[in-house]
């Protein structure tokens, strides 16, 4: 009940395309869903996060879509750029909890 | 500059030789956590701390110890390292009204550990 399943494991997209990364969770108590972005040789950094009271959140070219009934959420990157090439992790936790569960990550490569 | 620092950044050691990886943050954060990152397994939480003298196990605590004697420091101790602890380790911290992972976690640069 604590897993967060992330797919695909890797993704290659042409510049300007819209990569989509999907995550599914099991614990219905989870109410905070962040995405972290990690560049090679660096630690992850928070990219965008959503709570289940909204179905979509946009920050610049990054959008989270959230489907509470399906227990799924996804990250969309509009007008993708080679600089977006990184590993992306979804995660889930309780808003006031003390543990966070990460997905296994998606290695994204944007072709120039 | 607000940051999380880890030392050492790279370490090669042998089985059974005790080691400590230090972690320090200068943001007065209450919550600190250790993760290991392995190919195909993503980030897995080892231990976390909600505040000074308060620590708890994450998902993969076996073979590790931590302590939180000061708010800014959260060292990770491997008392008898084994080859299966070869990994990339990250320390992270976050803050909020009561701490917790729901706030943005700031990650350190990572420590690459090899146990021979």
Per-residue confidence (pLDDT) for residue B99, from 0 to 100:
45
Per-residue confidence (pLDDT) for residue A38, from 0 to 100:
97
Q: Is A94 helix (H, G, I), strand (E, B) or coil?
A: coil
Kindly report the nearest CA distance between residue B58 and chain A, in angstroms. Answer: 7
Report the b/e string of B35-47 with b at 16+ CB within 10 A.
bbbeeeebbbbbb
Cα(A40)–Cα(A46) distance, integer angstroms: 15
Per-residue confidence (pLDDT) for residue B102, from 0 to 100:
61
* Binary contact (A98, B92; C-beta < 8 A): no
Instruction: Find the helix or strand (DSSP H, E) in which B58 lies.
Output: none
Q: 């989870």: which residue's tokens?
A: A30
Rg of chain B (C-alpha set): 13
Q: 């040789």: which residue's tokens?
A: A41
Give the nearest partner residue to B45 out of A6, A45, A100, using CB atoms: A100
What stretches in chain B show pLDDT beneath 70? Answer: 96-102
Per-residue tokens: A81: 């750029």
Is the backbone peptide bond immediately before B83 cis, with ω within 30 degrees of 0?
Answer: no
Tell me: the pLDDT tens digits for A29-86?
Answer: 888 899 999 999 999 999 999 988 899 999 999 999 999 999 999 999 999 999 999 9
Nearest residue in chain A measured CA to CA from B3: A43
Cα(B58)–Cα(B72) distance, integer angstroms: 20
Size of interface A-B (CB pairs under 8 A): 69
Per-residue confidence (pLDDT) for residue A95, from 0 to 100:
74
Per-residue tokens: A47: 């990219």
Tell me: the pLDDT tens digits for A88-97?
Answer: 999 998 877 7
């Amino acid at each position: 009940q604590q897993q967060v399943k992330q797919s695909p494991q890797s993704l290659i997209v042409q510049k300007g395309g819209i990569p989509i990364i999907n995550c599914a969770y099991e614990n219905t108590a989870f109410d905070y869903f962040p995405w972290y972005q990690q560049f090679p040789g660096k630690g992850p950094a928070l990219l965008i996060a959503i709570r289940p009271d909204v179905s979509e959140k946009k920050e610049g070219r990054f959008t989270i879509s959230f489907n509470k009934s399906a227990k799924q959420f996804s990250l969309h990157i509009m007008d993708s750029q080679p600089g977006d090439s990184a590993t992306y992790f979804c995660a889930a936790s309780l808003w006031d909890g003390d543990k966070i569960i990460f997905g296994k990550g998606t290695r994204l490569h944007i072709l120039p | 500059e607000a940051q999380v620092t880890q030392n050492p950044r790279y370490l090669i050691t042998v089985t059974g030789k005790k080691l400590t990886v230090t972690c320090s943050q200068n943001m007065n954060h209450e919550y600190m956590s250790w993760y290991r990152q392995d190919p195909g397994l993503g980030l897995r939480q080892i231990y976390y701390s909600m505040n000074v003298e308060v620590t708890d196990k994450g998902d993969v605590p076996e073979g590790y110890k931590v302590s939180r004697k000061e708010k800014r420091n959260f060292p990770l101790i491997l008392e008898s390292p084994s080859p299966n602890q070869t990994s990339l380790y990250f320390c992270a911290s976050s803050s909020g009204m009561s701490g917790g992972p729901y706030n943005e976690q700031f990650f350190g640069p990572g420590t690459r550990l090899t146990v021979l």
